[in-house]
Amino acid sequence: MLTALLPPERIRVPLGSHSRHALFRELLELAMPDTDAATREASFQSVLAREGEASTAIGDGLAVPHGRTDAIHEIWMAAGIVEGVEDYAAPDGVPVRACFLVVTPEKDAGLHLKVLGRLARLMRDDALRTALMGASNAEAFCAVLASAETR
């Protein structure tokens, strides 16, 4: 499921952002390269609104910024490894290293929750987190995810 939504061209290792908002924008550009600026901005605002409720940094170096908006008609995802995003408040104090962006249409709440749940289940695995954070490129990141999804 995740590997179908996250081909290598939607993964960047390493991501270049050094602030939370810049990271969200970089991931949106990666997820939606052919969409117009207004659609990406609406998606950015949906992610910011969700982030305003509570940090999407979930601990153990992981973050899953996400949002829902009427501006899109299909799910968009991007992911990558990031260094030095100091303003991303994680509950355990561990800096965010692996980040998965999920943006879905407002009407697809079920799909939104399904994808977030799948990510949460996979990311509980210490070995998987370590392997993702050690990925040297997008293809290696994809291979780790693909391996985890076949278990």
Burial degree of 107 (CB within 10 A; 0-12, 13-18, 19+):
exposed
Contacts of residues 104-107 at CB distance under 8 Å and 24 or more positions apart, as own/partner, are 104/66, 104/67, 104/68, 104/72, 104/75, 104/76, 105/68, 105/69, 105/70, 105/72, 105/73, 105/74, 105/75, 106/68, 106/69, 106/70, 107/70
Are 76 and 31 in contact by the 8 Å Cβ rule? The answer is yes
Q: Which of 18, 21, 66, 73 is catalytic?
A: 66
Residue 123 or residue 151, greater confidence: 123
Q: Does 151 have pLDDT greater than 90?
A: no
Tell me the C-alpha distance between 51 and 141, whole Å.
25
| Longest CA pairwise span in the chain (Å) | 39
Tell me the C-alpha distance between 54 and 109, whole Å.
18
Q: Does 73 have pLDDT greater than 80?
A: yes
pLDDT digits (tens, 9 = 90+) for 46-66: 999 999 999 999 999 999 999
pLDDT digits (tens, 9 = 90+) for 79-108: 999 987 888 878 899 899 999 999 999 999
**Per-residue confidence (pLDDT) for residue 150, from 0 to 100:** 86
Tokens found for residue 48? 């910011």
Dihedral sign for Cα atoms in the order 129, 28, 15, 12: positive
Q: Which of 104, 100, 71, 97 is nearest to 83 (CA)?
A: 97
**Residue-range domains of the chain with CATH:** 2-149 (3.40.930.10)
DSSP structural state of residue 35: S
Tokens found for residue 107? 């009407």
Phi, psi at 72, each rounded to 5°? -120, 165
pTM of the model: 0.96
66 among known catalytic residues: yes
